[in-house]
Structure 1
Amino acid sequence: MPRVSTINGLPAHILVVHAVVVLIPLSALLVVLVAVWPAARARLVWPTAVLAVLALVAVPLTSEAGEWLEQRVARTPLVRAHTELGDYMLPWATGLALVALGLLARQVLEDRGARAVRGATGGLGRSRGDAAVTVVVALIAVIVAAGSVLTVYRIGDSGAQAAWTGQFSEQAQLPPGGGPPPDGE
């Protein structure tokens, strides 16, 4: 499979990274909601699992594009720090996807059990589930979600530091051809 190195003349990494920056926190939020709120689980478990898997797929694509870019920029300590932190995202994204898929499997099994009870009794039997399992799953979901979001933040901050440190002026710059600075300073 060919590597995507650039998109419209820009390094692919600086564009595809936005998928990770959006999908990981969104997936993390949904995983926690689905884990702790039964009404959300009934409605959102499928979209949550799909988003978490998409986020997981986006991570190695972003990392691969980042490795391509790393070979084409100055190897500064800030770039090294960013690339080293980037290695921590895949395990967190994998954990997030596994928790989402586990929640999906649990919901599917609960739905099947509830249908079986309703069919056998003719009533509105409900599967209560094990309260201890619910608490453990919710705790795992919160830990994995928090770790995923924190990791995205740390990697993103280090990437911004690597890209922008020393690359701008504190003073507004004159536009081409002179005239006052754009913000009226």
Structure 2
Amino acid sequence: MFDQINGLPVHVLVLHAAVVFVPLLAVGAVVYALVPRWRPRMAWALGLLAIAAPAATLVAKLSGTQLYNRLLGQGMSGPGKEILDDHMGFGTMTFWFTLALGVVSLVMVVLTWRREGNRLPMIGEVGGAVALIVLAAVSGYYVYKTGDSGATAVWGSY
């Protein structure tokens, strides 16, 4: 299912969705955390990104595993395999942190929906903001590392 479409690896076709949606989710989550007055206008977009980004990373991860297994079956080994092993590890971390960011984003949207001033009690505001900002930073870091290691695997280090 996640192997090929018209002879092209699905991974090559879908990875860019993760490259776009994860940073958009990260930026949206940080803005949602820090600018409460914008929450009513951006809640729907953050909610959609909270679903789309983890879904995109999951499809990229599953299709990448299919591609990796095909390459192993063709006898891939040595430094190329080591680079791809790192790439797959980064991709797995990207998925889990993006999923966590998506869940926390949805929780914040639900908790602040139609609340007075779109704010939680202070402990909720601070806790939610810290969680969103930390998860956004870590998700951004891992999507970068995944992309960088993938580019190195394909194009070499220049």
CA distance in 1, matches of 2:111, 2:94: 26
**Residue identity in the other structure for 2:15:** V
The answer to whether the 8 Å contact 1:35/1:137 transfers is yes
Partner of 1:28: 26
Alignment of 1:89-168 (within 5 A): 89-108=94-113, 111=114, 113-114=115-116, 129-165=120-156
Match of 1:61 among 50, 59, 64: 59
Quickly say closer, same or farther: Cα 1:50–1:143, change in 2 above 3 A: same
Q: Which amino acid aligns with 2:47?
A: A
The TM-score, its normalising length taken from structure 2, stands at 0.87
| Cα offsets for 1:9-42 (capped at 9, x unmatched) | 3211012010111000000100111111012211
Shift in alpha-carbon separation, 1:9–1:27, aligned structure 2, 3 A: same
Relative distance call for 1:127 and 1:57 in structure 2 (3 A) is: closer
Task: Determine which structure has the larger helix proportion and give its number.
Answer: 2
DSSP 3-state at the match of 1:4: coil
**1:112-136 CA distance string (max 9 Å, x none):** x54xxxxxxxxxxx57642232122
Structure showing greater Rg: 1
Q: Distance in 2 between matches of 1:48 and 1:127?
A: 15
Unaligned runs of 5+ in 1: 115-125, 171-185
Relative distance call for 1:129 and 1:96 in structure 2 (3 A) is: closer
1:85 to 2:56 alignment: no
- Count of residues in Structure 1 that have an aligned counterpart in Structure 2: 151
Equivalent residue, structure 1, for 2:39: 41
> Contact 2:53–2:98 at 8 Å: present in 1 too?
yes
Identity %: 32
Equivalent-residue separation in structure 1 for 2:127 and 2:99 (angstroms): 19
Q: Do structure 1's residue 13 and structure 2's residue 7 form an aligned pair?
A: no
Inter-partner Cα distance in structure 2 for 1:64 and 1:129? 37
> How many angstroms apart in 2 are the aligned matches of 1:129 and 1:13?
40
Q: Give the structure-1-normalised TM-score.
A: 0.75
- What 5-or-longer segments of structure 2 have no aligned partner? none
Evaluate the alpha carbon distance shift between residue 151 and residue 104 of structure 1 in structure 2; reply closer, same or farther with a 3 A threshold.
same
